[in-house]
Homo-oligomer: A and B are copies of this chain.
Amino acid sequence: MALSLKIEDTVQAGRRAMYGVAKQGPAPVEVPAALGSHATVLRTRRGQALALGPQGDETAFIVRSGVLMLDVTLPDSARQVAALIFPGDLIRTSFAPPCAKATLVAAAAGEVWRMRFSAVETFAASDPDIMRYLNEAVARRIAHQTIHAAMLGRLDSEQRVATLLVEFALRTGRCLPQGVVFDLPASRKDIADFLGLNPDTLSRIMSRFRGASLFSHAGRNKIVVRDFVALAARSPAASSLMALDGAPPGLSIDASA
């Protein structure tokens, strides 16, 4: 996520001047470059499926840019997008449950590193930076999954949608004078499957939010959040997400509130 935010440094500076010092989350441990030299670089297109690989052959995927969805379908059940995987995140074959249809699908075009997990383990043993990255990436993944579980189990549909928008704003948003702008690189169906809603309900709530001027569209999949604070107020997970992912540039929000 740091990537897309850095691009906007100048705009950020402007916003920061307007609103006060940005509260940045703890800088995430960067993906060690050493791993890149041993990985296969994949370029993903929107909608492309990446096989997680057979259970025996443990593979690791590190997202460098773009967004992946971890798609799970239990037998005789509807699809659930179990996780959104953003730049810096790592996932492994065994993160997917066995006996379920599980695939990685690219929501947005981007770059993914693929390597055998045993190789990652070997590097981690000798390089503390890699060990730290590995453990931190995994902890962040579980923390997100935990929030996701709390969302699916306890939030109503409006709160879920607000949470999703906050997540995208934090992870891929750029802060422009009109507000926080980001792509929603997934169909309504995909998003609904992530939120545990059905597409009709999602569409209704998006319309309701648009009616309440929480955001507006700027093109097919482009969203402009005019009042991020109001949006965050609708999501019980907003403060947790801000603490995990860093607050969006140019907004001085106390994540611990």
Chain A contact residues, CB within 8 Å of chain B: 70, 72-80, 82-83, 92, 94-100, 117, 121, 124-126, 128, 131-132, 135-136, 138-150, 152-155, 159, 193, 195-196, 236-237, 239-240, 242-244, 255-256
Contacts and interface: CB of A to CB of B under 8 A. Distances in A.
Contacts of A77: 150, 154-155, 159, 236
A142 B145 contact: yes
Q: Which of A77, A78, A131 has the most CB of B within 10 A?
A: A77
Contacts of A78: 154
Contacts of A99: 239-240, 242-243, 255-256
Number of this chain's copies in the assembly equals 2
A123 B26 CA distance: 26
A237 B97 CA distance: 9
Given A95-B146, A142-B141, A149-B149, A154 B74 contact: yes
11 contacts: A72-B146, A72-B150, A73-B150, A95-B146, A96-B143, A96-B146, A124-B124, A125-B125, A141-B142, A145-B146, A153-B193
Given A94-B142, A97-B237, 16 more contacts: A74-B150, A74-B237, A74-B240, A79-B154, A82-B150, A97-B144, A98-B143, A98-B243, A98-B244, A100-B237, A125-B126, A138-B142, A142-B142, A145-B149, A148-B149, A153-B195
